[in-house]
Amino acid sequence: MISKFARISAVVLGLSLFALAQADQSAATTPNAPSAAAAAVPKATGTKVGTINIEQAIFASNEGRRDFETLSKKFEPKQNELKNTADEIDSLKKQLAAQQDKLNDESRDKLVKQIESKQKSLDRSTQDAQEDFTNQQGEIGNRILGKMAPVIQKYVNDNGYGLLLDTSQPWPRGPVIVSGPSMDITQAIVEAYNAQSGVPAPPAGSPAAKPVKPTGTPGTKPATTKPATTTPPKQ
């Protein structure tokens, strides 16, 4: 499934690079524009073709690793709360399964309704938490991408690239069917961006030291793992 962030990042990258190109063109055609502005954003006049995994570049940067780790820690209390609720539901289900032959209809119905009510509440809370996490994840990614776009543009111009393709999404969702490692500039962009941002690498041994692409709330991912509701037949 193509993530919301993947779609946004592709659009933002395109708009960012387009804006840089437009700024260059405007500076060149406006009589009063400083000549330094045109020189600051040269056009891509090279002939080389390159590829870059935009998502990987963002998540692997020191800033990305730091900020996504901070986001994960921020959601840990909510994750624990959802897990505790799920455990409570499981406990009630076990109680129902163990006592359903001993309960009268009224007691059984009351327990079943309690389970269903808690399950619905958990599902709503899980969905809200997942959406909140995804939105904040996208905000972080797009903020970094906005600052990374000029670094990409400069690298492309300085190294003779005339075309750069994003490989964040595999074909047929993405434009690249196959590409060789010699064409990929992702690591070079990560290193260039780290040098510019000044954000230090995470300490060795920390969770953020190994970049992992976030795809949902940390831990058990409650948005995709939901306890099933069991409604035993009445006797």
Q: Tens digits of per-residue pLDDT, 174-192? A: 888 888 889 999 999 999 9
In this structure, the chain runs to a length of 235
Query: From the CB of residue 122, how many other CB atoms can be counted at a distance below 10 Å?
Result: 19
The pLDDT value recorded for residue 195 is 96
pLDDT at 234 over 50: no
What percent of the chain clears pLDDT 70, i.e. is strictly above it? 68
Terminal CA-CA length for the chain: 44
Q: Of the given ranges (29-38, 82-91, 149-158), which has the lowest mean pLDDT? A: 29-38
* Cα–Cα distance for residue pair 205/102, rounded to 1 Å: 53
Q: Of the given ranges (91-105, 113-127, 132-146), which has the lowest mean pLDDT? A: 91-105
Assess contact for 68 and 207: CB atoms under 8 A.
Answer: no
pLDDT at 233 over 50: no
Identify the residue whose tokens are 């434009």.
Answer: 175
3-state DSSP call for residue 179?
Answer: coil
* Cα–Cα distance for residue pair 110/91, rounded to 1 Å: 15
* Cα–Cα distance for residue pair 139/192, rounded to 1 Å: 22
User: pLDDT tens-digit profile of 199-226?
Assistant: 999 887 666 655 545 445 444 333 333 3
Assess contact for 232 and 81: CB atoms under 8 A.
Answer: no
Cis peptide before 172 (omega within 30 of 0): yes
User: pLDDT tens-digit profile of 61-72?
Assistant: 999 999 999 999
In 3-state terms the chain splits into helix, strand, coil percentages (rounded to 5) of 65, 5, 30
The pLDDT value recorded for residue 164 is 93
DSSP state of 42: -
Task: Determine the distance from the C-alpha atom of residue 80 to the mean position of all C-alpha atoms in its chain, rounded to a whole number.
Answer: 21
Query: From the CB of residue 211, how many other CB atoms can be counted at a distance below 10 Å?
Result: 18
Assess contact for 185 and 155: CB atoms under 8 A.
Answer: yes
